[in-house]
Chains A and B, each alone.
Chain A
Amino acid sequence: EPEVTQTPSHQVTQMGQEVILRCVPISNHLYFYWYRQILGQKVEFLVSFYNNEISEKSEIFDDQFSVERPDGSNFTLKIRSTKLEDSAMYFCASSETDGAGNTIYFGEGSWLTVV
Protein backbone atom coordinates (compact mmCIF):
# COMPACT_ATOMS: atom_id res chain seq x y z
CA GLU A 1 0.00 0.00 0.00
CA PRO A 2 1.40 3.43 -0.92
CA GLU A 3 2.47 5.51 2.02
CA VAL A 4 3.85 8.88 2.99
CA THR A 5 7.44 8.62 4.18
CA GLN A 6 9.27 11.09 6.39
CA THR A 7 12.87 11.68 7.40
CA PRO A 8 14.38 12.01 9.90
CA SER A 9 12.29 10.08 12.39
CA HIS A 10 13.88 12.03 15.22
CA GLN A 11 16.05 15.14 15.29
CA VAL A 12 17.55 17.02 18.21
CA THR A 13 18.63 20.56 17.50
CA GLN A 14 19.85 23.56 19.41
CA MET A 15 17.63 26.58 19.77
CA GLY A 16 18.24 29.04 16.93
CA GLN A 17 19.38 26.41 14.47
CA GLU A 18 17.67 25.73 11.15
CA VAL A 19 15.90 22.42 10.64
CA ILE A 20 14.64 20.80 7.47
CA LEU A 21 12.12 17.97 7.69
CA ARG A 22 11.66 15.88 4.58
CA CYS A 23 8.70 14.01 3.19
CA VAL A 24 7.89 11.90 0.17
CA PRO A 25 4.12 12.07 -0.39
CA ILE A 26 2.12 9.33 -2.08
CA SER A 27 3.06 9.46 -5.75
CA ASN A 28 -0.25 10.31 -7.42
CA HIS A 29 -1.29 12.80 -4.77
CA LEU A 30 -1.44 16.49 -5.61
CA TYR A 31 -2.08 18.11 -2.23
CA PHE A 32 0.51 18.15 0.50
CA TYR A 33 0.31 19.17 4.12
CA TRP A 34 2.23 19.59 7.31
CA TYR A 35 0.61 19.08 10.70
CA ARG A 36 2.18 18.95 14.10
CA GLN A 37 1.38 17.57 17.53
CA ILE A 38 2.97 19.01 20.64
CA LEU A 39 3.21 16.36 23.34
CA GLY A 40 -0.16 15.87 25.00
CA GLN A 41 -1.98 18.24 22.65
CA LYS A 42 -4.11 18.00 19.53
CA VAL A 43 -2.85 17.40 16.04
CA GLU A 44 -2.77 20.88 14.49
CA PHE A 45 -2.79 22.00 10.88
CA LEU A 46 0.22 24.03 9.75
CA VAL A 47 0.07 24.42 5.98
CA SER A 48 -1.32 23.01 2.76
CA PHE A 49 0.45 23.13 -0.58
CA TYR A 50 -0.81 22.64 -4.11
CA ASN A 51 0.56 23.40 -7.53
CA ASN A 52 3.85 24.65 -6.08
CA GLU A 53 2.34 27.19 -3.78
CA ILE A 54 0.86 27.46 -0.32
CA SER A 55 -2.93 27.22 -0.50
CA GLU A 56 -3.68 27.67 3.18
CA LYS A 57 -1.71 28.19 6.36
CA SER A 58 -2.49 28.48 10.05
CA GLU A 59 -1.45 31.14 12.55
CA ILE A 60 1.29 28.81 13.73
CA PHE A 61 2.93 28.92 10.31
CA ASP A 62 4.73 32.24 10.72
CA ASP A 63 7.75 33.65 8.91
CA GLN A 64 10.05 31.14 10.59
CA PHE A 65 8.43 28.34 8.61
CA SER A 66 8.63 27.63 4.91
CA VAL A 67 7.73 24.73 2.63
CA GLU A 68 9.15 23.68 -0.67
CA ARG A 69 8.78 20.99 -3.28
CA PRO A 70 12.34 20.99 -4.61
CA ASP A 71 11.78 18.18 -7.09
CA GLY A 72 9.03 15.85 -8.30
CA SER A 73 8.94 13.71 -5.20
CA ASN A 74 10.07 15.55 -2.07
CA PHE A 75 8.18 18.02 0.08
CA THR A 76 10.08 19.81 2.83
CA LEU A 77 9.33 21.90 5.90
CA LYS A 78 12.02 24.32 7.00
CA ILE A 79 12.13 26.03 10.36
CA ARG A 80 14.60 28.88 10.07
CA SER A 81 15.49 29.56 13.69
CA THR A 82 14.05 26.95 16.02
CA LYS A 83 12.54 27.82 19.39
CA LEU A 84 11.95 25.55 22.36
CA GLU A 85 8.21 25.62 21.65
CA ASP A 86 8.80 24.14 18.20
CA SER A 87 9.47 20.80 19.88
CA ALA A 88 6.76 18.53 18.54
CA MET A 89 5.98 15.61 16.25
CA TYR A 90 5.66 16.93 12.71
CA PHE A 91 3.46 14.97 10.34
CA CYS A 92 3.58 15.25 6.59
CA ALA A 93 0.41 14.26 4.77
CA SER A 94 -0.94 14.09 1.25
CA SER A 95 -4.23 13.68 -0.56
CA GLU A 96 -5.31 13.01 -4.10
CA THR A 97 -7.88 15.79 -4.21
CA ASP A 98 -9.21 18.56 -2.04
CA GLY A 99 -12.68 19.49 -0.92
CA ALA A 100 -15.46 17.16 0.12
CA GLY A 101 -14.53 13.54 0.36
CA ASN A 102 -10.88 14.35 0.70
CA THR A 103 -9.02 11.66 2.64
CA ILE A 104 -5.66 12.81 3.92
CA TYR A 105 -2.97 10.19 4.52
CA PHE A 106 -0.28 10.82 7.10
CA GLY A 107 3.34 9.83 7.40
CA GLU A 108 4.91 8.31 10.51
CA GLY A 109 6.08 11.68 11.76
CA SER A 110 9.38 13.41 12.54
CA TRP A 111 9.96 14.04 16.20
CA LEU A 112 11.76 17.37 16.67
CA THR A 113 13.36 18.19 19.99
CA VAL A 114 14.74 21.70 20.42
CA VAL A 115 17.17 22.10 23.33
Chain B
Amino acid sequence: DQQVKQNSPSLSVQEGRISILNCDYTNSMFDYFLWYKKYPAEGPTFLISISSIKDKNEDGRFTVFLNKSAKHLSLHIVPSQPGDSAVYFCAASGGAQKLVFGQGTRLTINP
Protein backbone atom coordinates (compact mmCIF):
# COMPACT_ATOMS: atom_id res chain seq x y z
CA ASP B 1 0.00 0.00 0.00
CA GLN B 2 2.03 2.92 -1.32
CA GLN B 3 -0.41 5.79 -0.99
CA VAL B 4 2.39 8.22 -0.16
CA LYS B 5 5.71 7.87 -1.93
CA GLN B 6 9.04 9.55 -1.55
CA ASN B 7 11.02 8.23 -4.47
CA SER B 8 14.40 9.61 -3.46
CA PRO B 9 15.84 7.68 -0.52
CA SER B 10 18.63 10.22 -0.16
CA LEU B 11 19.63 13.72 -1.20
CA SER B 12 22.90 15.55 -0.75
CA VAL B 13 23.02 19.37 -0.90
CA GLN B 14 25.73 21.91 -0.31
CA GLU B 15 25.32 24.24 2.65
CA GLY B 16 23.64 27.48 1.66
CA ARG B 17 21.93 26.00 -1.39
CA ILE B 18 18.27 25.01 -1.77
CA SER B 19 17.13 21.54 -0.74
CA ILE B 20 14.05 20.23 -2.55
CA LEU B 21 12.36 17.12 -1.21
CA ASN B 22 9.56 15.55 -3.19
CA CYS B 23 6.52 13.49 -2.34
CA ASP B 24 3.77 11.94 -4.44
CA TYR B 25 0.43 10.59 -3.33
CA THR B 26 -2.28 8.52 -4.94
CA ASN B 27 -5.30 8.97 -2.69
CA SER B 28 -7.51 11.87 -3.81
CA MET B 29 -9.19 11.88 -0.40
CA PHE B 30 -6.09 13.27 1.29
CA ASP B 31 -6.75 16.86 2.28
CA TYR B 32 -3.92 17.70 4.64
CA PHE B 33 -0.22 17.17 4.16
CA LEU B 34 2.62 17.44 6.61
CA TRP B 35 6.39 17.26 6.62
CA TYR B 36 8.25 15.80 9.57
CA LYS B 37 11.96 15.76 10.27
CA LYS B 38 13.48 12.83 12.11
CA TYR B 39 16.85 12.24 13.68
CA PRO B 40 17.99 8.67 14.48
CA ALA B 41 16.39 7.22 17.63
CA GLU B 42 14.09 10.23 18.00
CA GLY B 43 10.45 10.85 17.18
CA PRO B 44 9.29 12.70 14.06
CA THR B 45 9.30 16.47 14.62
CA PHE B 46 6.60 18.47 12.89
CA LEU B 47 7.99 21.01 10.41
CA ILE B 48 5.28 22.43 8.22
CA SER B 49 1.90 21.51 6.79
CA ILE B 50 -0.45 22.48 4.01
CA SER B 51 -4.16 22.10 3.48
CA SER B 52 -5.47 20.95 0.13
CA ILE B 53 -7.18 24.31 -0.38
CA LYS B 54 -3.80 26.00 -0.66
CA ASP B 55 -0.89 25.54 -3.03
CA LYS B 56 1.86 27.07 -0.93
CA ASN B 57 2.71 27.54 2.70
CA GLU B 58 5.82 29.22 3.99
CA ASP B 59 7.46 29.24 7.41
CA GLY B 60 10.89 30.80 7.62
CA ARG B 61 13.35 28.77 5.57
CA PHE B 62 10.73 26.10 4.84
CA THR B 63 8.16 26.26 2.05
CA VAL B 64 5.79 23.51 1.05
CA PHE B 65 4.22 23.49 -2.41
CA LEU B 66 1.18 21.42 -3.30
CA ASN B 67 0.18 20.52 -6.85
CA LYS B 68 -3.17 18.77 -6.50
CA SER B 69 -3.61 17.96 -10.16
CA ALA B 70 -0.27 16.13 -10.15
CA LYS B 71 -0.80 14.76 -6.63
CA HIS B 72 2.62 16.05 -5.76
CA LEU B 73 4.08 18.09 -2.98
CA SER B 74 7.54 19.37 -2.29
CA LEU B 75 9.43 20.84 0.61
CA HIS B 76 11.95 23.57 -0.12
CA ILE B 77 14.59 24.48 2.44
CA VAL B 78 16.58 27.60 1.70
CA PRO B 79 19.27 28.24 2.64
CA SER B 80 20.19 24.71 3.73
CA GLN B 81 22.13 24.43 6.97
CA PRO B 82 24.15 21.53 8.44
CA GLY B 83 21.53 21.10 11.18
CA ASP B 84 19.00 20.27 8.47
CA SER B 85 20.69 16.91 7.92
CA ALA B 86 18.05 14.35 8.92
CA VAL B 87 15.42 12.06 7.44
CA TYR B 88 12.39 13.93 6.13
CA PHE B 89 9.00 12.26 6.02
CA CYS B 90 6.03 13.39 4.03
CA ALA B 91 2.67 12.43 5.58
CA ALA B 92 -0.93 12.82 4.52
CA SER B 93 -4.34 12.55 6.11
CA GLY B 94 -7.83 12.44 4.67
CA GLY B 95 -10.21 13.77 7.28
CA ALA B 96 -9.65 10.74 9.45
CA GLN B 97 -7.20 10.92 12.27
CA LYS B 98 -4.43 8.72 11.00
CA LEU B 99 -1.43 9.85 9.02
CA VAL B 100 -0.03 7.87 6.11
CA PHE B 101 3.73 8.31 5.83
CA GLY B 102 6.12 8.10 2.95
CA GLN B 103 9.34 6.11 3.19
CA GLY B 104 11.45 9.12 4.02
CA THR B 105 14.33 10.92 2.31
CA ARG B 106 17.69 11.22 4.05
CA LEU B 107 18.98 14.75 3.52
CA THR B 108 22.68 15.42 3.99
CA ILE B 109 23.92 18.99 3.99
CA ASN B 110 27.59 19.20 3.07
CA PRO B 111 29.72 22.08 4.35
Residues of chain A having any CB pair with chain B under 8 Å: 4, 6, 31, 33, 35, 41-45, 48, 50, 55-56, 58, 89, 91, 93, 95, 98-109, 111
Nearest CB on A from B61, distance (A) = 19
Are A42 and B101 in contact, with the CB atoms below 8 A?
yes
With known contacts A100-B32, A101-B51, A33–B46 Cβ distance under 8 A: no
Are B42 and A109 in contact, with the CB atoms below 8 A?
yes
With known contacts A98-B97, A102-B32, A42–B102 Cβ distance under 8 A: yes
Are B98 and A106 in contact, with the CB atoms below 8 A?
no
Are A42 and B103 in contact, with the CB atoms below 8 A?
yes
Are B43 and A102 in contact, with the CB atoms below 8 A?
no
Task: Tell me the nearest residue of chain B to A110, going by C-beta.
Answer: B43
With known contacts A48-B98, A101-B51, A43–B44 Cβ distance under 8 A: yes
Are B97 and A101 in contact, with the CB atoms below 8 A?
no
Are B97 and A105 in contact, with the CB atoms below 8 A?
no
Residues of chain B with a CB closer than 8 A to A101's CB: 32, 49, 51
With known contacts A42-B103, A100-B31, A107–B43 Cβ distance under 8 A: yes
